[in-house]
């Protein structure tokens, strides 16, 4: 493991909301190509960690390094440009845009023509749009959404919406993909397919994945390592088998 490049290095991460400590003293290392699980009971602070990693929230303490780069001064936009992309627990698509355009918004910073070129329809516009269309269609095909390309995102079935969020995040060319409960609301068969899809995406785009999930079958099935949070504190960290047999973890989930 350690001979792989470290994509994410988190040290002593913590955040307070008006005196209430939501997350405290979190350490986390994610390596190139790793699929990593972040689990814990409801209210443990998992999504808060995501919000700090994407700089939607500014952490109160600790450091986040992405491929060695300190993320302290970044905001959500520059954090994405630096290489962090995410999906949301409560789906946040651009509902009135088509599925294809949703993916293309993810390419905002890689499409290079300027405003004038767009208004005057210069050749650079057509070239870049064509490339974007092709890349977006490719992503949609990988995520099994190509037949919906022309549909308004808000009209998609639930499972497809979750996959579209993944496609949109991938369009930003991330190094690290954060998935917030990707299997929520999916049936066992869909979850199976999603697991295969996450692996495929990881291999194809050569990225690392950090995911929050309550579906233990999924977590234990695809995550190489797992971190367990409870009440904002780090409870356990290790391989799936270690986590499954950890007494503290079982206690936190089932209660005493």
Rank residues 31 and 50 by Cβ distance to another protein and give the closer one. 50
Strand pairing category for 69-70 and 61-66: antiparallel
Q: How far is Cα 163 from Cα 183, in angstroms, rounded to an integer?
A: 10
Hey, which residues between 90 and 129 contact another protein (CB under 8 A)? 90, 92-97, 100-101, 104-109, 111, 113, 115, 118-121, 125, 129
Query: 3-state class of 226 per DSSP?
Result: strand
* Site membership for another protein, residue 161 (CB under 8 A): no
Q: Compute the least distance from the CB of residue 24 to another protein, in Å.
A: 19
Spatial contact of 169 and 136, defined as CB atoms under 8 Å apart: no
Closest C-alpha among 191, 13, 214 to residue 226: 214
**Nearest distance, CB of residue 248 and another protein, angstroms:** 29
Task: Report the nearest approach of another protein to the CB of residue 247 (Å).
Answer: 33
Instruction: State both tokens at 106.
Output: 């993810």
* Per rule CB under 8 A, count of chain residues that contact another protein: 49
* Residues 88 and 56 sit within 8 Å (Cβ to Cβ): no
Query: What is the C-alpha separation between 183 and 26, in angstroms, rounded?
Result: 25
- Which residues here bind another protein, judged by CB under 8 A? 47, 51, 54, 56-57, 75-77, 79-81, 85-86, 88, 90, 92-97, 100-101, 104-109, 111, 113, 115, 118-121, 125, 129, 132-134, 137, 146, 149-150, 168-169, 171-172
């Amino acid at each position: 493991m350690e001979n792989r490049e470290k994509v994410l290095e988190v040290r002593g991460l913590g955040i307070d909301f008006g005196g209430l400590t939501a997350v405290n003293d979190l350490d986390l290392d994610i390596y190139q190509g790793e699929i990593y699980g972040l689990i814990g009971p409801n209210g443990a602070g998992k999504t808060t960690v995501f919000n700090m990693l994407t700089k939607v929230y500014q952490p109160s303490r600790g450091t986040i390094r992405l491929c060695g780069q300190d993320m302290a001064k970044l905001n959500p936009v520059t954090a994405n440009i630096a290489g962090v992309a995410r999906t949301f627990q409560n789906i946040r698509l651009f509902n009135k845009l088509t599925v294809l355009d949703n993916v293309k918004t993810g390419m905002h910073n890689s499409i290079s023509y300027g405003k004038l070129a767009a208004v005057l329809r210069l050749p650079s516009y057509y070239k870049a749009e064509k490339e974007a269309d092709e890349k977006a269609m490719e992503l949609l095909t990988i995520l099994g959404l190509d037949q919906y390309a022309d549909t308004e995102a808000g009209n998609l079935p639930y499972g497809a919406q979750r996959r579209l969020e993944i496609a949109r995040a991938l369009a930003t060319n991330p190094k690290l993909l954060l998935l917030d409960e990707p299997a929520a609301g999916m049936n066992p068969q869909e979850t199976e397919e999603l697991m295969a899809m996450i692996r495929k995406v990881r291999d194809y785009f050569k990225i690392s994945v950090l995911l929050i999930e309550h579906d233990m079958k999924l977590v234990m099935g695809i995550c190489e390592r797992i971190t367990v949070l409870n009440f904002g504190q780090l409870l356990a960290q290790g391989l799936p088998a270690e986590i499954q047999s950890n007494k503290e973890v079982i206690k936190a989930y089932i209660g005493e």
